[in-house]
Structure 1
Amino acid sequence: MKNLFPLFLVAFLSLVHTASAQNIAINTDGSLPDASAMLDISSTGKGFLAPRMTTTQQNAILLPAKGLLIFNITNNIFKVNTGTATSPFWSTLNASDNNWLVTGNAETSSASNFLGTVDNVSLRFISNNTERMVIDSTGNVGIGNTNPNSTLSVTGSQSASFKSVMGSYTFLNTDFVVINTGGAATWTLPAASSCSGRVYRLINHGTLLTMITLSEAVMLESANSTVTLSSARNVNTYEIISDGFLWRKMN
């Protein structure tokens, strides 16, 4: 063994070149380490093999240093501690097969791929370093509101689809406010059974006493309905909603 040690030392030193007390290079050509690296490993035929361990073994590491890198063989991903030694947080390193890309994704499955959280944590959307929208852990959505208390909570101005028509018109599922500015016409509403919960605002600003004939009856109250919309003041606007069976006037 004593005779083999000098040979081992020579072989090791042929692979390791110390440029200074500050950084080390490991290579076979004797090149100096990059000045920005403490350890510079170069090879054209071999790679760097990180420590491999299960999630249980990972979590059992005593006081893991911030930045400690391992390969998790339970999930087959690289993990790095982005927390502290006393409060470690093992983050997944970028793996394009499992991450959403900023340039778009292909071959996704709606059954297994999603953007969101799997724990009791809210999903927040930020632009210009300011939170713009949140889906909180209870499912409430806030737009301009960081603490929504309703299914949808909007703080700020809103806009909706607006369409001005002259003559007969067939409503689309993208419509919201439709205004008549012409003469008498027929407006075709979709069957209430086909769009439960949909809301339309109908406004008749046509010529004096112009009547709009609706294709579907609108329930005004329990025993009163109409199929016309007058241009007369105070009765020229209907906001209607489908209950899945009938169109009902809301205001």
Structure 2
Amino acid sequence: MSFTAIVLLFSGITGYTQTNNTKLKDGSVASSPLTALPGAVFELESITRGFLAPRMTTQQRNAIAKANLTDGLLIYNTTTACFDYYKALSANSGDWFSICGTPPPATFTITSAQCNEITSHGTFLQGKGLDASNYLSIPLTVSTPGSYSIRVTTNNGYYFEKTGIFTSAGTFTVNLPATGKPVNPSELGDEGSILLNEIPLTTINCKPKIKVSPQVVFSLICEDYSESVTLGAGKSIGSFSVSISVNVTSLGAYSVSTEARNGVSFSASGTFTNIGSNTITLLPNGTPESTGEFNYAISSNSGAATCNLKVNYLNRTITVLGLGQDRYQPGTANNNQASRAILTNLTNFGSNGVVKVDLQIINGNFSQDATLKSIINSNNIDIIVIGYNYLPNAASITVLDNFIKRKKGVLIHSQENDALGAANLINTITGGSAIVGTLNNPNTYLNILSNISDPILTKPFIDLKGKYAGVDLINSCLYISNLPGNMIKLGVVNTNPSLVYMAKHSSLGYVFVGDAGWTAGEVGSNNLDIWPASISAGGNLLSKLYFNNYPVNINSTATVHNSFLYANTIAWAIEYVKKNTNPSYIIP
């Protein structure tokens, strides 16, 4: 029997009571029975065609007259892409359910008060595609839980939409993501039309306004944007900024930025209020990771060409003040003497040295009191190195204490003689009760350095842990007993470890060395009992043989490393200054 004959037969029997079952075939299944399966009143058979149910949207489905709704009514919902069936819940009511498992539509609405609380989020800009930052927050009231769809349309190229399920009744706020791209600016705001489950909201007059800013049009005027900035404490760049020129042809909000280089990016944003030539100030974001020259590409939201910016990050000049005399401090030593030559050697301390820095050395001789304070303030001193035979008086101790604690400078306190004065300075700075004494004829010229991982003992020149430092002659050197708790022991007397030769404060910029000649040395000096800081021409660092058990055994020697210890100490002081020192502080 052909498919057409079966259809005609089926059509012809609708006029009288059908007592048998019916089967429709399209011939795509060969040799199958002509009659329907016994348990089916109606069977369709095909392997090339399907059964097509009525197709309609949720809105069309909901428009079916109530009188025509009956248990089991089936449609295909084109809104949800699922089959829906009607189920009678009582004699006079029922609801649609989805075969996909979606619950029936929720009952919800928006009150007048809630309408006033609808809020748009993000920047809506003419011609700019909307993203996750653009959405509409809508408060609403749910009386019956279920599935929902909320859509807010505009006539300006974009809309908001969200679907989901309300699991309970109550008051909720739903965020509707934006889709599209505003075509025109709208200073007064685009009106949004609200549809709740595809039904327009008509119970109240609720038309949320969405403001769209005009697309700004401007061009960067590319010039030779090249700037230098000197790094402050903590590598900060302070109030540094970069000004660039632009030509504005259409007013609106602008944003100009660079990528990040060396830990720093630059940006500016605002609104142009004048057509024509304008100046934008780019502000830095971040902290420089190092010194050097870095190139940036400047881009903008105008879509115009990018410009180049070159920024040279410079270390500020670190100023070292020497107090004392002769070869024992960097301000009075010459270029063949270690106290100065080590610092002026650009391989050690220079723009491309082991320590990248520019140093300036100032001589303060034996300045005390107000003169000392004036030198520190007028020269913006960062590091003070005390050498032989500078003995600070009480007023100078107050100045130095202020320099360390408030300006956050570094004091390298090398002293012999006047044990009581040395103790006063140590205890003023530390708040401790250090006892300082003189150890004459200790039968050794050596001090042994601590085996701890402190920067002064480990970097950047050589690792000095457990090595020796020599004293410049053995008379009148000072040593600490009862070391304050906030001091770190860096070196002790070789023959008496209870006596501290070198120590530093645990948090402040302060180092004590009980020998005012520990940095002394000259090119070519081979003495075994004086000038322990050995150098070659130009200030290159050397170790040196030195007396050990003198005068008991004049043949007993050991290697001392004062030059390296001095260089490591200055390197530590420089890093401390970069991170902590306030160059603008004036000692009162």
**Structure 1 length as normaliser, TM-score?**
0.32
Greater RCO (Cα-Cα under 8 Å, separation 6 or more): 2
Look at both structures and tell me which one has the larger radius of gyration over its CA atoms.
2
**Structure 2 length as normaliser, TM-score?**
0.15
Answer 1 or 2: which has greater helix percent. 2
